[in-house]
């Protein structure tokens, strides 16, 4: 990624349902306009195709769901996203409202760093593909049913899962759904794919970490039972009984604008109230 540059054209994406978000947008717009920055804004989800064309950066005000809704357009245009958290945990929206108001003048001058986040490519038909920043989840279409899923890695049979579903996660998504299912925390700079079963009917419930260049294939062992494929918890892909589901790392990536002192583990400790163990005095 090239070095950050001053921001002359700034887009805003607003989730109007979040408390205080509209008022924060007004203050940020006023501060940006005072510095001669060209403004574009929307509260439409997902953002319209082409919304970020010609834009230097995009400030997303909301929660992680709002951030995810802009990811596809940001990836297409390679426009860095500045996430401002007005939701709950906010792993992707790492600025607080107070932080962005204080830091905005410096950010507009280029005081930020851009980091690329890997994406998963999920294909259900030859011409039916989508990108995931967090995860791809495969479940039985009927919530009362159990899925029977054969998994292959580069044509090597892995195993058959009898479970509520499977979560294929990026490192970025390791703090999302897969975390709740007992999956591993993975540093976002890694390029691996993690697979975590959801409520498997087995005593050995373990995640698997696959290398970056693997192609994973999932086949429905009970083809009469329909499957649901959810991308980032926002979009569903249709499936066919005859076509396997293919998952691989994408050649594309999402640019994210972060604070200069951003620390992934600081975010994990703060958001999850996490500690490695007893932190008392050492003799």
- pTM here is 0.92
Domain CATH number, residue 267: 3.40.50.10330
Q: Is residue 278 part of a domain?
A: no
Q: How far is CA 13 from the centre of its chain?
A: 16
In this structure, the answer to whether residues 234 and 268 fall within a common structural domain is no
Domain CATH number, residue 214: 2.60.200.30
Alpha-helix runs per DSSP H in 14-138: 21-34, 64-77, 97-108
What is the SS3 assignment for 143-179? Answer: CCCCEEEEEEECCEEEEEEEECEEEEECCHHHHCHHH
pLDDT value, residue 179: 94
In this structure, the answer to whether residues 106 and 141 fall within a common structural domain is no
In this structure, the answer to whether residues 199 and 98 fall within a common structural domain is no
In this structure, the answer to whether residues 43 and 87 fall within a common structural domain is yes
Contacts of 4 (CB under 8 A, 6+ apart): 80, 110, 111, 112, 113, 114, 257
Cα(210)–Cα(162) distance, rounded to whole angstroms? 20
Catalytic residue numbers, as ranges:
64
pLDDT (tens digit per residue) in 224-274: 888 999 999 998 888 877 789 999 999 999 999 999 999 998 888 888 888
pLDDT (tens digit per residue) in 257-270: 999 999 998 888 88
In this structure, the answer to whether residues 132 and 83 fall within a common structural domain is no
In this structure, the answer to whether residues 137 and 209 fall within a common structural domain is yes
In this structure, the answer to whether residues 28 and 91 fall within a common structural domain is yes
CA-based nearest residue to 191, from 166, 177, 167, 174: 174
- What domain range includes position 178? 119-251
In this structure, the answer to whether residues 200 and 163 fall within a common structural domain is yes
Cα(122)–Cα(168) distance, rounded to whole angstroms? 10
- Residues of the chain where predicted confidence (pLDDT) is lower than 50: none
Structural domains in the chain (count): 2
Cα(84)–Cα(58) distance, rounded to whole angstroms? 11
pLDDT value, residue 270: 85
Enter the tokens of residue 86. Answer: 């007005």
């Amino acid at each position: 990624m090239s070095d950050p540059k001053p921001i002359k054209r700034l887009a805003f994406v607003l989730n109007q349902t979040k408390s205080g978000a509209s008022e924060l947008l007004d203050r940020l717009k006023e501060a940006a306009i005072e510095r001669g920055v060209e403004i574009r804004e929307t509260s439409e989800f997902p953002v319209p195709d082409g919304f970020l064309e010609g834009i230097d950066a995009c400030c997303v005000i909301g929660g992680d769901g709002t951030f995810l809704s802009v990811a596809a357009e940001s990836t297409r245009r390679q426009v860095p996203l500045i996430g401002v958290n007005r939701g709950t945990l906010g792993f992707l929206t790492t600025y607080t409202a107070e932080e962005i108001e204080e830091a905005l003048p410096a950010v507009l001058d280029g005081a930020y760093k851009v980091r690329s986040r890997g994406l998963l490519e999920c294909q259900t038909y030859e011409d039916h593909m989508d990108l995931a920043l967090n995860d791809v989840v495969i479940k039985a279409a009927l919530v009362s049913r159990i899925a029977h899923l054969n998994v292959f890695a580069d044509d090597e049979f892995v195993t058959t899962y009898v479970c509520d579903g499977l979560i294929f996660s990026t490192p970025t998504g390791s703090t999302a759904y897969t975390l709740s299912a007992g999956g591993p925390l993975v540093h976002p700079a890694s390029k691996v794919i993690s697979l975590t079963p959801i409520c498997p009917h087995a005593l050995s419930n373990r995640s698997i970490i696959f290398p970056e260049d693997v192609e994973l294939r999932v086949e429905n062992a009970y083809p009469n039972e329909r499957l649901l494929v959810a991308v980032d918890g926002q979009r569903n892909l249709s499936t066919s009984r005859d076509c396997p589901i293919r998952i691989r790392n994408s050649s594309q990536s999402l640019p994210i604008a972060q604070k200069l002192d951003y620390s992934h583990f600081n975010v994990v400790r703060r958001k999850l109230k996490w500690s490695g163990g007893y932190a008392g005095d050492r003799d």
